[in-house]
Structure 1
Amino acid sequence: MVALVRVDDRLIHGQVTAVWCRAWNLDRIIVVDDEVAADPFMQEVYRLAAPSGIQVQVVSLEDAVPLLRREAENGGHRTMVLLRSVAGAVALYEQGFSFPALNVGGIGMGPGRRPLWRNIAASPQEIALLERLAQRGVEVTLQPVPDDRPVPLADLVG
């Protein structure tokens, strides 16, 4: 079962492994990222960064939809889908993997980005993409860590 779909530009790191996995009782992380999927060394780095008992699988966007559909149907794991970018989350949704909610975590400052909330920043283009998901019924919230209250996107940009 896909328990959580999250955007975090650092992918697997301490917060994800120590806090999110425990808070959501996850046993699997599926990283959807073309760059990492093409780099066996980085795949191994991310696998080693995960705590014991957490299975990590890295797939390209193209391979993600059929895998995630099977995951949603079979429900043998409690899975986090982890993406590096808002654009990746939108592409995943538009290519056929519907999800009811998107958790936006760490997106750092960068060219054209402005702070939205805490350590989360976004460009006007990224905000428009998030709003597009929201218009399709996806509950878009910003939440760096599970102890934080999820903040609806509309509260920050609406």
Structure 2
Amino acid sequence: MITYYRVDERVIHGQTLNVITRQVPCDGILVVDDEIAGDPDFCTIFKGMTNYKVLIFTLDVAMRKLSEAEQSQKKYFVIFKRPTTLAEMIRRGYSIKLPSIMIGPQSYRADTTSFFPTMCLTPDEIKAMDEIAATGTKIMMQSILNQVPISWQDVKNGKKPKQKASLD
């Protein structure tokens, strides 16, 4: 079964491995990204970062493999590097099986709009976020652990995330 969806340009990193895996049940991590899946060096790096089983799929393969993961008794995180990949899966018929997804850091790039520090999206990514939200999936955004997660709708309306009093 899928227990967590995340979009994060860092893909697998300390926040995922040390914090989120303690909060949400996880037996393995499924990464969906054509660039990473096509680069053996990236695959080796991401698979070597953790003791969790890591499987890395192209978007085409993920269309089949995520359905298999949903039927499994094992608990999987699904991580996308960019929201455009998830939106493309939805356009092809994939349905998110949880009520919400988390968007982690998306860094500044030449054509991005900065919504708050480390949350910068291109016009195509903004469109993708709207497409994901249109499915009824709640999109929550949190670029660092000491931020209170904030909804995409609130971010679009100009709100900024609040800081947590502690990391507990």
* 1:110 corresponds to: 109
Which one of 42, 60, 64 corresponds to residue 62 of structure 1?
60
SS of 2:108's partner is: coil
1:1-158 to 2 correspondence within 5 Å? 1-50=1-50, 52=51, 54-74=52-72, 76-99=73-96, 100-145=99-144, 148-158=147-157
* CA–CA distance in structure 2, aligned partners of residues 41 and 123 of structure 1: 27
- Give the total of aligned pairs: 155
Distance in 1, matches of 2:80 and 2:93, equals 16
Question: Highest relative contact order (Cα 8 Å, sep 6+), 1 or 2?
Answer: 1
Quote the Cα distance in structure 2 between the aligned partners of 1:130 and 1:119: 16
Which one-letter code corresponds to 1:15 in the other structure? Answer: Q
Verify the 8 A CA contact 2:31 2:55 in the aligned structure 1.
Answer: yes
Unpaired runs of 5+ residues, structure 2, are 158-168
TM-score normalised over the length of structure 2 = 0.84
Question: Percent identity over the alignment?
Answer: 25
SS, match of residue 111 in structure 2: coil
| Separation (CA, whole Å) in 1 of partners of 2:65 and 2:31 | 11
Q: Is the 8 A contact 2:3 2:25 kept in 1?
A: no
Q: Is the 8 A contact 1:23 1:146 kept in 2?
A: no
Counterparts of 1:25 and 1:4, CA distance in 2: 9
Deviates more, 1:147-156 or 1:82-91: 147-156
Task: For residue 123 of structure 1, report the CA deviation from its aligned partner.
Answer: 2.3
One-letter amino acid of the structure 2 residue matched with residue 77 of structure 1: K
Q: How large is the RMSD of aligned CA atoms in angstroms? A: 1.6
Distance in 1 (CA, whole Å) between partners of 2:102 and 2:49 is 21
CA contact (8 A) 1:31 1:57 kept: yes
Secondary structure in structure 2 of the residue aligned to 1:46: helix
* TM-score (normalizing by structure 1): 0.89
Q: Write out per-residue CA displacement over residues 93-142 of structure 1, whole angstroms, 9 at most, x where no aligned residue.
A: 22222114221101111112122234211123322221121122111110
